A and B are shown apart, each in its own frame.
Chain A
Amino acid sequence: MNSTSEFVTSEFVTGNVSLADVLPQMILMPLIAFVSGLLMILMYRKIAARLQRRVGPPFFQPVYDIVKLYGKKTQISHGLIHDIGIVVAVGGYVAAVILLPIPGMDGIADKGGIITLSYVLMVPSLGLALGVGQCANPNGSIGISRALTAMLAYDIPFIIVVFGVATHYQSTSLVGMINYQQTHQWGIFEMPLLAAAGLFTLQGMMGKHPFEIYVAPAEIATGPMVEMSGKYMGGLFVMQSFQFYVASVLYASLFLGGGSNWFEFLLKIFFVVEIPIFISFLFPRYRTEDMVRIMWKWPVMIALIGIAFVM
């Protein structure tokens, strides 16, 4: 245990959070997340286009898409659960970003910690899964069954990484971890193996190539999204932007010391999200079982070795 003496405590932990403090953050944090997420999606599409020697979409393309989808005149619903699924999928991420500290705003990060966060992150998936289930489309169900399998695949290395990090900092509080890194050293330097494994799982978490078998447009008609039209699809686009944001901020908070100011913070999260994007367009798609196999082999191995160094 190399950091027992430097026991992470946070002044936020014991302090009581009052609603008045949190309220503006509750509005601002999702907004920031949404805007950054849109930019990340733009970046994703731009990088894709450039890698394929294309021009790529205009700057506001993600906005156009979302506005168009919400502006659809007709849209179909397969029932209440279909609607609620989308609400939960978006709402779960809204809740999750409030649990993620960003410069100057901690939200309620110290009320949950990283374990809670990783489980809150499952809420949108579950909500979406329920919604897709009611669409009564087997393509959707197959997609969800693959998505849940994918979650099983990448969550195991992810959770090992989380364990390693939490053990290293002797804390589950993200605020505490960030403070520690800012005063000492970034996690990526103290735990390079865990950081590498974390990057690997990040790839799976973002649900892009090469781990996007569960949307597989040509085979199962985009899986979970098969029956999504108009605002339903729009909700998923919003959710995707949150997804990018959460994954990158989480990684930045665990290994790159969060951000002491906004510039640094944004630089880090865009940098983090860039790596998986590049990787995703350089590789073809894995089948489900191959994804499980690769996720349970390499990142798990790396992370376990990493833990052995940390313990």
Chain B
Amino acid sequence: MDNIVLLVVLPLLAAFLMPVVARSSEVLARTLGLSVLFISIAIILNVWNQSGQIDSQAVSIAIGGFLPPLGINFYVDQISLFFALAVPVMVLLFWPWNRSTSIREYSLMMLLTASASGLILSGDLFNIYVFYELLAIASYSLVAIQGRAAAVAASFRYLLMGSVGSVMMLLGIAIIYTQTGTLNLAHLSLLAPEKLNNILGLGSFALILTGMGVKAELFPVNSWVPEVYGSVSSNLAALMAGLLSKLAVIVIVRLLILLFPQPEALQLMAVLGIMGVITGELVAWRAKDFVRMLSFSSIGQLGLVFLAFSIPGEMGMMAGIAIVLHHMVVKPALFMLATGWRGSLENLSGVARRSPFAVLLFIVLILSLLGIPPLPGFWAKYLLMVGLSSQDGSIYTLGMFIVPVAMIIEIAYLFRLVMIMYRKEGDEAAVNNPDIKVAPQSHSKWGLAIAASVAAMLIAIVLQLQPASDKLVSLASQLSDRNQYISTVFPQIHTVRMQSIK
């Protein structure tokens, strides 16, 4: 169980070692990263197998034997383990296989892996900040390293927003620290009802939300998204849209559950989520470019996620997790399809004749994204709607009307695209369009395979709806269970508290 720490340590080491090793043997350096990833996956699978009880009981690991609140700890429950697994798996899937890739990029990928794993596992606010910064630096550099001028510009913008975000976050953490004197999450959680249930706590939440929101594509701080996704390789875009944004979301949610019990915090998140949904979808409606369309759609989906998590109670948690997981697999798959389909939408005219399978996959994926039953996306959306309608607040009612409108807009632009793809040969629009500069390329087999497996996974979930829904319920209940977190980290406190209640 303790070797879970290796998930952070090994990639970190690899990241620093790789440039060094590369000087002697390039091949070794290249394999080093991969082997670390494989080892990470093996570790997690091992942990999962060993401790079957993790479904019901989370585990806290004190690093270096120092117990929290003084020491730092990793908190391992289903959701964090799942994401910890997702990190190496997805990094592996979207690994820059290209032979010409510089070793620095591999190194940065390893850094990304390490920081992402750390971020999801940390049980400590300061560590979260540190890993977040690491993650941010890794991703700025990864964007910038793409080499293209547009990528550099995008990276700079990303950097600006990210650093402002970091400052905000640091500010928030500082406020929390001044208020409570601790940064351990479990400890904070114990103190929160007294110390943070006030205006300062709320303010710190707002700051942390804005800071983390930069990564999580939260509404006001997401204007980097389209440019970055548009200028980087599809692999990286898939990784960022699919994985990194979700990690940030999960961290925010965890903080929200543990530290900020105020309803205003939820409302703030709901407002920003709604704004994200509506602006993202609206702009995507006008997008003339496939990747840009996906980026804005991604913003919209993240808005949905925030809206879902802002619903108090388990229903919201379930809806949020469902959307997160669904988007986490679907969006990367879409980005993989985008590899062949860059450029103007008009480029894709009649593409269905050349690559029918890719278009079919595309349709399945967007159907699920839109929430068409019985595909998994529907159940997520269903939970969201039920959750929204169960709340009284006007903001949720607004959300309940905004989400369908957003979906209608989304279907309009996505199926407009599908229709373009199925255009007849010799269509006058296709022939005379000045926008067409590049002919669509064929997809890499790897990208198609990923998309196909995702589609297959979606269908498999449909066939196994019952177990999948059970799993979702247990995930949600564990994530939303504050007491379990506290009692896992501080077993003794829990018992004391229980006794005192009795």
Do A and B share a direct contact in the complex (Cβ within 8 angstroms)?
no
Query: Which chain A residues have a beta carbon within 8 Å of chain B's beta carbons?
Result: none
